[in-house]
């Protein structure tokens, strides 16, 4: 580290708002040549926003970006690249129909006489770049079908070819296997040794400790701390990540757990999740916690029948569900409020009333037709119960705010009086006030005997809402907590794979 | 943790896993398959009727396919960028009529100038398409469906019920349509030359590679700093210009023109392009393949005549071939996908 020469990149007093949400507030970060800088924080802490600002995709509302001490303003991604910043995203965006070599040099191919592309040199340079990285990858093959890890390699080679001095890796290991992670570490080390400044974002603390020289922790869009790695322990980092006061956002209604509604037994989908067992009783909220990529949503998708499972079984109130049949899952009384409500939860161009009635058309129909009046009164009933704020029920559902859209999705399933409701990130992108309402709704549902399976990346939400917590790590259940012995630090450790043998 | 510096540096040695080799070969060199089909059709027809491979017959095959093949060049460029140009038949029609009108008013106009006029008329139409698609961001399917009718309407209003007949055209011009050099028709030579130039250009210039990149992943293209709007605009201008140029050749081939010249060509051309292995959603396929597709479809329709199958079956067969080509592509892609997945880089 050559701190004496001053930072290669410096972001100071950065602010960014999205409507009412403050994504970044007075954030600063400094990256030095020859240093790997770790960036950690929970989902929603503002890491992605920070990356997008460095990438030139977003412009901060306030604050300055300094490169080599000089102010830089990026209007687009190209300018950021030209300035020597390269971003390696968790899931790279390559051109599947072009060769690996072309993907590296796209837009800047080496030319020969007559402005023609020098294909031979391009190929040779690609081979050279892969040699520098110490990997073997055929430069002539198409990018289609490359594994995520190899796609990242192509992006890293691209960064090398552009002589990038600042390399930002946004959760590069989230989708990699252990051996691929090891290879990536070797490459990051090489980049660092060559004098690049690397910003390494990861949820896995052992990676931060294995790779980084300094660490910055962010929380709620703010900078919490930046310290050399030697001065930190994983406990200290976890505390800094989750250290907010538990907001009074979670009106937990006490309820008496009833009989087992959902029983998941040794459920396995190869390469996705393994040997997952848990149950949910009526009147109970069970949270599936864990990192992105730990397999939470995938388990939910399998239960609901979207994805096929390879082994194990799912029972609803004692009856086994067939594999891969959402129709059977719905008939058995499961409702799914998906993570991506715009794509999967709602038909955005349909009216509010049609969306609410969508899963209950069997009840609304008369002789195979849907009488408009019946649909409307059915929808109005549920809109009132959920205190939906709307202009007219005939307005398209996209006119509603995010929180009210979520209520429409909830109404759609509640109208079927489900035995089990699966909610995936129920409050993502919802303002604070409506969040509390969604929480109240879920809590009341449980109080009325519905079994609720909740997936959430927001630890406070999990802590505030759940009766029990099942923590997944890399597709396996790493620990289960009852409400009585819920402990933030222990959950974080279980989610990052740091399970104490004694506790497990 | 190991560092890569210490690791043996083994360059990729070009080894291939054998099992999916054929599928991958077909996938990457689609043209081979079309040539194979072409040989098959010609061979089978010749067994039935020896005269199918006579000199004049082959000349007719080549000349007949030339105009569709030319149009297929432009269409390929547009489709590769994940767009489509449905207006080419109308552009060809109005350009042919414009060329005829020039000769009516200036009987001694030079062929070169008339070709240039046709080219410019087409380029102007293409520029309108390109501008609406890129500036107003209207899907090209809708835009060019609209201009298909608008241009045809203008053509019809201009031509009225008129027909410009071959006696209005100079002999030197008509000769392009039927003349040959060493037995090869001019039209065929022009098409072969244009296909060769376009194939090379699409492979060797940044703009050409940008077309593929845009069609392969538009969002990534934008992030890579490719001027997406400008490139798509260029693609439409090229497609229009080629259609305009082809319109003049069409006039010389048929010798007369009225308001319905080139009606329905867009579908013949798109069929040829798709049969030729150009992915309908962009990103892959070659001009050469598309031109071979045009030749194949034209040869099949000629072959049907020779073996005394009713010409009514012609369209049905072309359609079946189109669906077959797409199904074949899917099949090959499914076969190749696991091969591409398993051929990851090795970690030694």
Which of B216, B228, B333 should one mutate to test binding to chain A, selecting the residue with the greatest count of A CBs within 10 A? B216
CA A3 to chain centroid, in Å, comes to: 34
- Judged by CB atoms closer than 8 Å, whether chains meet at B3 and A94 is answered as no
| Residue B160 maps to a domain | yes
Instruction: Establish if B145 belongs to a structural domain.
Output: yes
Give percent above pLDDT 70 in chain B.
87
Q: Which of A323-327, B80-84, B219-223, B287-291 has the lowest mean pLDDT?
A: B219-223
Which residues are CB-contacts of B36 (< 8 A; sequence separation ≥ 6)?
Answer: none
**B217/A141 touch (CB, cutoff 8 Å), yes or no:** no
Please give the order of strands across the beta sheet that includes A21-31: A21-31, A9-18, A62-67, A70-71
Q: What is the pLDDT of residues B55-71, one digit of tens each?
A: 788 888 898 899 999 99
pLDDT at A20: 63
Which structural domain range is residue B284 located in?
55-337
Whether the pLDDT of residue B190 is over 50: the answer is yes
Question: B50 to chain A nearest CA, in Å?
Answer: 43
The pLDDT of residue A246 is: 43
Q: Which residues pair with A469 in a beta bridge?
A: A287, A481
Owner of token pair 């410096």: A10
Q: Do B213 and A95 touch (CB under 8 A)?
A: yes
CB A67 within 8 Å of CB A9 = yes
| CA-based nearest residue in chain A for residue B337 | A145
User: To probe the interface with A, which of B204, B212, B278 has the most A CB atoms within 10 Å?
Assistant: B204
Between A95 and B29, where is the model more confident? A95
Task: Please report the pLDDT score of residue A504 as a whole number.
Answer: 37
Say yes or no for a CB contact (<8 Å) between B283 and A95. yes
Which of A74, A110, A134, A178 best tests the B interface by mutation, with the highest count of B CBs <10 A?
Answer: A134
Q: What DSSP line would sit under B143-177, residue for residue?
A: HHHHHHHHHHHHHHHHHTT--B-GGGS-HHHHHHH
> What's the mean pLDDT when you consider all of chain A?
86
Average pLDDT, integer, range B327-348: 59
Task: For residue A125, give the chain B residue with the closest CA.
Answer: B11
> Buried b / exposed e across A440-463, counting CB within 10 Å, b at 16+?
bbbbebbeebbbbbbbbbbbbbbb
Q: Which residues pair with A267 in a beta bridge?
A: A276
Window B:315-344, CB contacts with A under 8 Å: 336-337, 339-341, 343-344
Rounded to the nearest 10 degrees, the angle between the axes of helix A402-414 and helix A372-385 is 110
Mutate to test the interface with B, among A54, A58, A97, A128 (most CBs of B within 10 A): A97
With b meaning 16 or more CB within 10 Å and e meaning fewer, what string describes B301-338? bbbbeeeeeeeeebeebbeebbeebeebbeebeebbee
Contact B217 A94 (CB under 8 A): yes
Q: Which residue of B has its CA nearest to A57?
A: B223
B308 touches chain A (CB under 8 A): no
Domains by residue range for chain A, with CATH = 3-94+146-242 (3.40.50.300), 247-333+418-504 (3.40.50.300), 348-417 (no CATH)
Please report how the helices B111-135 and B88-105 are oriented relative to each other, as an axis angle in degrees rounded to 10.
150
CATH code, B154: 1.10.3470
For residue A78, the SS3 value is helix
Nearest CA in chain B to A189: B3
Coil, helix or strand at residue A420: strand
pLDDT-based confidence at B304, cuts 50/70/90? Answer: confident
CA–chain centroid gap for B52, Å, is: 25
Q: In the predicted model, what is the mean pLDDT of residues B124-145? A: 96
Least Cα distance to A36 among A158, A174, A209 occurs for: A209
DSSP string, A329-341: HHHTTEEEE-S-I
The residues, any chain, with a CB within 8 Å of residue A199's CB and separated by 6 or more, are A29, A31, A37, A39, A51, A54, A166, A167, A168, A169
Residue B44 lies in a domain: no
pLDDT at A492: 77
Q: CA-to-CA distance for B177 and B188, rounded, in angstroms?
A: 10
Q: Is A66 on the interface with B (CB under 8 A)?
A: no
Closest of B205, B186, B194, B192 to residue B295, by C-alpha? B192
Q: Does A210 touch chain B (CB under 8 A)?
A: yes
Determine, yes or no, domain membership for B46: no
Are B11 and A109 an interchain contact pair (Cβ–Cβ within 8 Å)? Answer: no
Contact between chains at B5 and A193 (C-beta distance less than 8 A)? yes
User: Do residues A357 and A442 touch, judged by C-beta distance below 8 A?
Assistant: no
Let me know: does A386 contact A407? Beta carbons within 8 Å: yes
- Which of A283-292, B8-17, B128-137, B272-281 is the least confident region? B8-17
A107: contact with B, CB 8 A cutoff: yes
Give chain B positions within 8 Å (CB) of A134. 4-5, 7, 9
Distance between A148 CA and the closest CA of chain B, angstroms:
10
Q: Is residue B325 part of a domain?
A: yes
**Cα–Cα distance measured from residue A336 to residue A410, given in angstroms and rounded to the nearest whole number:** 9
**Which is nearest to A43 in space by CA: A147, A140, A171, A144?**
A171
Q: Does B216 touch chain A (CB under 8 A)?
A: yes
Question: Domain for residue B152, yes or no?
Answer: yes
Measured between beta carbons, the chain A residues lying within 8 angstroms of B2 are 182, 186
Task: Please report the residues numbered 109 through 168 in chain B whose beta carbons come closer than 8 angstroms to any beta carbon of chain A.
Answer: none
- Which B positions 241-300 lie with beta carbon below 8 A of chain A? 279, 283-284
Residue bearing tokens 């890579």? B224
In a domain, B290, yes or no: yes
A148: contact with B, CB 8 A cutoff: no
As a whole number of angstroms, the distance between CA B268 and CA B71 comes to 10
Share of chain B above pLDDT 90, in %: 55
- Residue A44 pLDDT: 66
Distance from CA of A266 to the nearest CA of B (A): 28
Residue B221 to residue A210, Cβ atoms within 8 A = no
Residues in A closer than 8 angstroms to B1, CB to CB, are 182, 185-186, 189, 210
- Give A183 to chain B, closest Cα distance, Å: 8
Query: What values do phi and psi take at A2, rounded to 5?
Result: -120, 70
Task: Quote the number of domains for chain B.
Answer: 1
Average pLDDT, chain B: 86
Beta strands in A78-177 (DSSP E): 85-88, 111-112, 116-117, 166-170
Instruction: Look at residue A247 in the predicted model and tell me its pLDDT.
Output: 47
Decide if A134 and B226 are in contact by the 8 Å CB cutoff.
Answer: no
Q: So what's the pLDDT on residue A175?
A: 66
A-B interface: how many C-beta pairs under 8 angstroms? 130
Q: Does A78 touch chain B (CB under 8 A)?
A: yes
Q: Which two tokens stand for residue B146?
A: 């609209």
B49 part of a folded domain? no
**What pLDDT shows up at residue B19?**
42
**Does B206 sit within 8 Å of A115, measured CB to CB?**
yes
How far CA A429 is from CA of A21, A241, A405, A426, in Å, comes to 9, 20, 11, 9
Task: State how far the Cα of B69 lies from the Cα of B67, in Å rounded to an integer.
Answer: 5
CB B345 within 8 A of CB B7: no
Residues of chain B contacting residue A115, judged by C-beta atoms under 8 Å apart? 205-206
Residues of B in contact with A130 (CB under 8 A): 11-12, 345
- How close does chain A come to B206, measured CA to CA in Å? 7
Contact A95 B341 (CB under 8 A): no
CB neighbour class for B192 (10 Å; exposed up to 12, middle 13-18, buried from 19) = middle
How are beta strands A214-219 and A35-40 bridged, if at all?
parallel
The reply to whether residue A130 touches residue B10, judged by beta carbons under 8 angstroms, is: no
Report the pLDDT averaged over residues B319-323: 82
Least CB–CB distance from A97: residue in B7, B12, B283: B283
Q: Does A113 touch chain B (CB under 8 A)?
A: no
Query: CB distance from A233 to chain B under 8 Å?
Result: no
Instruction: Tell me which of B315 and A431 has the higher pLDDT.
Output: B315
Rounded average pLDDT over B13-23: 47
Residues of chain B numbered 10-69 and touching chain A (CB < 8 Å): 10-14, 28
In angstroms, the CA A234 to CA A39 distance is 13
Q: Give all strands (DSSP E) within chain B, no chain letters.
A: 180-181, 184-185
Query: Quick one: pLDDT at residue A27?
Result: 92
Position B12 pLDDT exceeds 50: no
- Binned average pLDDT, 10 residues per bin, chain A of 504 residues: 70 84 86 94 79 89 91 86 87 88 90 92 94 88 84 90 91 74 88 92 84 91 92 83 57 78 92 91 91 83 91 92 92 90 86 91 85 89 87 86 86 91 83 75 89 86 88 89 82 73 40
Closest CA to A396 of A428, A366, A352: A352
């Amino acid at each position: 580290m050559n701190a004496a020469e001053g930072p290669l990149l410096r972001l100071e007093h950065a602010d960014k708002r999205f409507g009412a949400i403050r994504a970044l507030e007075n954030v600063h970060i400094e990256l030095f040549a020859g240093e790997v800088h770790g960036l950690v924080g929970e989902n929603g802490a503002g890491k992605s926003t920070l990356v997008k600002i460095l990438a030139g995709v977003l412009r901060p509302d306030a604050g300055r970006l300094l490169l080599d001490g000089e102010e830089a303003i990026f209007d687009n991604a190209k300018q950021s690249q030209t300035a020597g910043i390269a971003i390696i995203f968790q899931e790279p965006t390559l051109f599947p129909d072009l060769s690996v070599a072309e993907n590296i040099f796209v837009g800047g191919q080496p030319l020969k006489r007559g402005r023609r592309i020098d294909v031979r040199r391009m190929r040779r340079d690609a081979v050279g770049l892969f040699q520098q990285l110490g990997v073997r990858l055929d430069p002539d093959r198409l990018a289609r079908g490359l594994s995520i890890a190899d796609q990242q390699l192509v992006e890293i080679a691209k960064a090398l070819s552009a002589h990038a001095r600042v390399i930002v890796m946004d959760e590069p290991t989230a989708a990699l296997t252990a051996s691929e992670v090891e290879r990536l570490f070797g490459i990051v080390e090489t980049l660092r040794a060559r004098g690049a400044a690397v910003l390494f974002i990861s949820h896995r603390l052992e990676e931060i400790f294995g790779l980084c020289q300094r660490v910055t922790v962010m929380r709620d869009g703010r900078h919490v701390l930046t310290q050399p790695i030697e001065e930190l322990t994983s406990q200290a980092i976890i505390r800094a990540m989750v250290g907010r006061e538990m907001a009074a956002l979670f009106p937990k209604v006490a309820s008496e757990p009833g009989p087992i509604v959902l029983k998941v037994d040794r459920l396995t989908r190869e390469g996705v999740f393994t040997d997952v067992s848990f149950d949910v009783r009526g009147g109970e909220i069970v949270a599936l916690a864990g990192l992105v990529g730990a397999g939470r949503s995938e388990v939910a998708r399998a239960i609901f029948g979207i994805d096929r499972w390879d082994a194990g079984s799912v029972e609803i109130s004692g009856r086994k569900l067939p594999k891969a049949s959402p129709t059977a899952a719905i008939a058995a009384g499961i409702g799914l409020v998906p993570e991506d409500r715009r794509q999967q939860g709602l038909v955005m161009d349909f009216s509010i009333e049609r969306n609410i009635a969508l899963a209950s058309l069997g009840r609304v129909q008369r002789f195979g037709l849907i009488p408009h009046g019946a649909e409307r009164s059915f929808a109005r009933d549920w809109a009132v119960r959920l205190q939906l704020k709307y202009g007219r029920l005939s307005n398209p559902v996209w006119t509603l705010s995010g929180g009210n859209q979520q209520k429409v999705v909830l109404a759609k399933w509640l109208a079927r009086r489900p035995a089990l409701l699966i909610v995936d990130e129920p409050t993502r992108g919802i303002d604070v006030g409506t969040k509390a309402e969604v929480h109240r709704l879920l809590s009341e549902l449980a109080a009325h005997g519905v079994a609720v399976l909740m997936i959430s990346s927001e630890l406070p939400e999990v802590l505030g809402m759940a009766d029990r917590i099942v923590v997944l790590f890399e597709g396996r259940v790493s620990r289960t907590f009852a409400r009585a012995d819920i402990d933030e630090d222990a959950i974080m450790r279980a989610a990052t794979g740091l399970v104490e043998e004694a506790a497990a | 943790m190991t560092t890569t510096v210490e690791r043996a540096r083994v360059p990729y040695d070009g080894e291939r896993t054998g099992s999916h080799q054929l599928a991958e070969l077909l996938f990457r060199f689609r043209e081979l398959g079309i040539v194979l089909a072409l040989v098959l059709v010609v061979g089978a027809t010749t067994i039935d009727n020896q005269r199918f491979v006579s000199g004049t017959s082959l000349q007719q095959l080549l000349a007949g396919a030339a105009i569709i093949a030319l149009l297929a060049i432009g269409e390929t460029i547009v489709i590769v960028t994940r767009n489509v140009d449905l207006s080419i038949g109308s552009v060809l029609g109005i350009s042919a009529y414009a060329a005829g009108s020039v000769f009516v008013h200036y009987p001694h106009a030079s062929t070169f100038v008339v070709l240039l006029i046709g080219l410019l008329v087409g380029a102007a139409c293409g520029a309108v398409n390109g501008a609406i698609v890129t500036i107003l961001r209207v899907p090209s399917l809708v835009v060019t469906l609209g201009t298909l009718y608008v241009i045809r309407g203008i053509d019809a209003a201009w031509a009225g019920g008129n027909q410009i007949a071959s006696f209005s055209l100079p002999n030197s011009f008509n000769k392009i349509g039927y003349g040959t050099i060493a037995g090869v028709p001019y039209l065929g030579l022009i098409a072969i030359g244009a296909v060769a130039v376009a194939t090379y250009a699409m492979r060797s210039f940044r703009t050409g590679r940008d077309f593929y990149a845009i069609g392969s992943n538009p969002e990534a293209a934008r992030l890579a700093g490719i001027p997406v709007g400008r490139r798509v605009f260029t693609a439409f201008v090229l497609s229009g210009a080629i259609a305009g140029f082809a319109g003049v050749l069409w006039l010389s081939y048929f010798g007369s023109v009225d308001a319905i010249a080139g009606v329905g060509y867009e579908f013949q051309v798109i069929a040829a392009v798709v049969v030729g292995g150009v992915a309908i959603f962009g990103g892959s396929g070659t001009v050469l393949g598309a031109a071979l597709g045009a030749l194949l479809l034209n040869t099949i329709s000629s072959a049907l005549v020779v073996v005394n199958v009713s010409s009514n079956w012609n369209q049905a067969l072309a359609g079946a071939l189109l669906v077959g080509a797409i199904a074949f592509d899917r099949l090959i892609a499914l076969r190749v996908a696991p091969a591409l997945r398993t051929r990851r880089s090795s970690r030694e």
